[in-house]
C-alpha cells in the first residue's frame, strides 16, 4: 500500500479519495474483463460508471441483467439499484472520473499484427477529458511498450505529464471465465506504473478490491508478464499437441502417456491435447510478443512453431472424422456430423476463437452436414443465417453418422454418448473407460 511519506500532493489527494471511497471509477469496455472489474469496484463501495459503444450491453447493465456468466444477475441488480453501478454510451462523463480502466479488445489482424485500434479509440475519448490527478490504467493485453509509447503521448498532448499531473499504469487482466475457484478478486493483480508515483497510485487503488497486488518496476514489465503467462501455455499445449500427432502415427495412446508422466512429483506439469486453441488470450497473446520481438530483429521461433502446431489441430480433428466415417464405409460428403460443444472451453458460453467453429467450417467445405449441441450456446450466426443448438438426447446422437466431442461440458451425459453414438471423435478423452469400439481419439 502506498505511503504518505515521500508522496506528492497530487498523489496524497488521490489516496485520500480512494480511502474515503469518494473516487469515481470509470471502466471502458464492459465485456468479460470490464464488467467483473466494475462489479468488484462497486462492491467495495466505489461509485462506478461503465462505458461501452454497445447499446445492448449498456441497456442490460442499467436494467440489472448480467450477460457475463461469472457475474450473477442478482448481484448486478443490487449494485445498480444502490446507485453504485451504471453504464453509459456518453463518453463526456469521463470528465468526472478519478480513475479510468481501459478494458477493450485487442485482436490480431489477418497478418497477425496487433490491432490496437480499440485502445487508440478509448484513449482519444479520454485525452480531451482527463482531469488533473486522475489515474489511467490499461488492462487490455498488448505488446510491451504500448502504455508508454502509444497511450502516454496521446494523453499528454494537452500538456499534462504522467507521474506529476496524472497517473498512468498497466495491469494485465487475468480473467479465467468459468473458473469457480479463481475469479477477479482472488487472482493476484500485477501492476506497473510509469513512475513510482504512478505505481503507488495504482497499487493503492487495486489493494481496495484485490486480495493481493504484485507491483513490478515498469509498465513494460507488466505488459510482458501477461504475454509470458499465455505464451507458456501456448507453447506447452503446442508441445503436447505435437506429441498427440506423433503418438497417432506410432499407434500410442497419448492420454495414457500423459497420465503416467503426471505421476512424476517434480519436473513435469501435465498439459492436454485438444482440437485447437480458443478464447481471446492464448491463441492471440503470444503473437503480440513475437510481433514486438520482430521489431527488434529477434525471431521468436518457439512461439511461431507452437502457433503452427496448434493451428493445425482442427484439421487433424476433421481428418479423424473422415477416418471414423471411412471405418463405416461412409464418406464425409453427405454425412451428418454432430459437434458436441461449441464454446472454446468447458462449462462456459464463450465461442471466441473456438476450434469447434473451425472444425465445422472444414467439414462443411468437404460436404458434410454439420450440426452442433451446446447447452451454453443456444444459437450462432452462421452461413448468412442462424444455426441453433440441437437438443442433447439419444435420438440426436443416433441420427449422426459421427459425433465429435469438441468441448467437454459437464452437462453432457457421456454414458448416453457412449451408448447411442455410432462413431465418435473424442477430442477431450471424455469417453475414457466407457467404450473403445468406434471411438477415434486425438
CA atoms of 164 and 330, how far apart (whole Å): 71
Residues 6 or more apart in contact with residue 238 via CB below 8 angstroms: 305, 306, 307, 309, 310
C-alpha to C-alpha distances, 54 to 47, 51, 175, 188, nearest whole angstrom: 21, 9, 21, 30
Q: Which three cell numbers stand for residue 427?
A: 477430442
Question: Cell triple for residue 98?
Answer: 478519478
CB atoms within 10 A of CB 409: 24
Q: Which of 293, 70, 253, 92 is nearest to 173 (CA)?
A: 70
Cα atoms in the 13 Å half-sphere on the side-chain side of 5: 0
**10 close to 17: Cβ distance less than 8 angstroms:** no
Q: How far apart are CA 364 and CA 339, in angstroms?
A: 12
For residue 109, give the nearest of 348, 284, 369, 341 by alpha carbon.
Answer: 284
The phi, psi pair for 339, rounded to 5°, reads -100, 120
Q: How far is residue 170's CA from residue 418's CA, in Å, rounded to a whole number?
A: 48
Give the chain's largest Cα–Cα span: 78
Q: How far apart are CA 188 and CA 186, in angstroms?
A: 6
Q: How far apart are CA 300 and CA 306, in angstroms?
A: 10
Catalytic member of 198, 247, 281, 402: 281
Residue from 349, 354, 375 nearest 31 by CA: 349
How many CA atoms, within 13 angstroms, populate the side-chain half-sphere of residue 439? 21
281 in active site: yes
The catalytic site residues sit at 281
Amino acid at each position: 500500500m502506498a505511503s504518505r511519506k515521500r508522496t506528492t500532493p497530487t498523489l496524497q489527494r488521490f489516496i485520500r479519495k480512494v480511502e474515503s471511497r469518494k473516487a469515481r471509477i470509470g471502466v471502458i469496455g464492459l465485456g468479460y474483463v470490464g464488467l467483473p472489474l466494475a462489479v468488484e469496484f462497486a462492491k467495495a463501495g466505489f461509485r462506478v460508471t461503465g462505458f461501452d459503444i454497445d447499446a445492448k450491453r449498456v441497456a442490460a447493465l442499467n436494467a440489472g441483467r448480467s450477460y457475463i456468466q461469472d457475474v450473477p444477475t442478482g448481484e448486478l441488480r443490487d449494485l445498480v439499484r444502490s446507485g453504485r453501478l451504471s453504464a453509459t454510451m456518453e463518453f463526456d462523463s469521463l470528465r468526472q472520473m478519478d480513475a479510468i480502466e481501459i478494458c477493450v479488445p485487442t485482436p490480431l489482424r489477418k497478418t497477425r499484427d496487433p490491432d490496437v485500434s480499440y485502445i487508440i479509440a478509448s484513449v482519444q475519448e479520454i485525452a480531451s477529458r482527463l482531469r488533473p490527478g486522475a489515474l489511467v490504467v490499461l488492462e487490455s493485453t498488448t505488446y510491451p511498450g504500448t502504455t508508454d509509447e502509444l497511450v502516454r503521448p496521446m494523453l499528454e498532448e494537452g500538456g499534462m505529464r504522467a507521474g506529476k499531473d496524472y497517473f498512468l499504469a498497466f495491469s494485465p487482466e487475468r480473467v479465467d471465465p468459468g473458473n469457480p475457484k479463481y475469479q477477479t478478486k482472488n487472482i493476484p493483480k500485477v501492476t506497473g506504473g510509469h513512475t513510482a508515483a504512478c505505481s503507488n497510485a495504482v497499487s493503492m487503488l487495486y489493494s481496495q478490491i484485490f486480495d493481493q497486488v504484485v507491483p513490478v518496476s515498469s509498465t513494460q514489465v507488466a505488459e510482458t508478464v501477461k504475454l509470458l503467462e499465455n505464451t507458456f501455455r501456448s507453447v506447452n499445449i503446442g508441445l503436447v499437441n505435437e506429441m498427440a500427432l506423433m503418438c497417432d502415427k506410432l499407434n500410442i495412446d497419448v492420454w495414457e502417456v500423459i497420465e503416467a508422466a503426471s505421476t512424476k512429483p517434480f519436473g513435469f506439469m501435465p498439459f492436454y491435447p485438444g482440437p485447437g486453441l480458443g478464447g481471446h488470450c492464448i491463441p492471440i497473446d503470444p503473437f503480440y510478443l513475437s510481433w514486438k520481438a520482430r521489431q527488434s530483429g529477434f525471431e521468436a521461433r518457439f512461439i511461431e512453431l507452437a502457433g503452427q502446431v496448434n493451428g493445425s489441430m482442427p484439421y487433424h480433428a476433421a481428418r479423424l472424422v473422415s477416418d471414423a466415417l471411412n471405418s463405416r464405409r461412409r464418406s464425409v460428403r453427405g454425412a451428418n456430423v454432430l459437434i458436441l460443444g461449441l464454446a472454446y472451453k468447458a462449462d462456459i458460453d464463450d465461442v471466441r476463437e473456438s476450434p469447434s467453429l473451425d472444425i465445422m467450417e472444414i467439414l462443411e467445405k468437404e460436404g458434410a452436414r454439420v450440426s452442433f449441441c451446446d447447452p451454453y450456446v443456444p444459437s450462432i450466426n452462421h452461413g448468412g443465417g442462424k444455426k441453433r443448438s440441437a437438443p442433447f438426447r439419444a435420438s440426436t446422437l443416433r441420427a449422426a453418422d459421427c459425433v465429435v466431442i469438441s468441448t467437454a461440458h459437464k452437462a453432457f451425459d457421456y454414458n448416453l454418448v457412449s451408448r447411442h453414438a455410432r462413431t465418435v471423435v473424442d477430442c477431450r478423452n471424455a469417453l475414457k473407460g466407457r467404450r473403445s469400439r468406434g471411438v477415434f481419439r486425438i
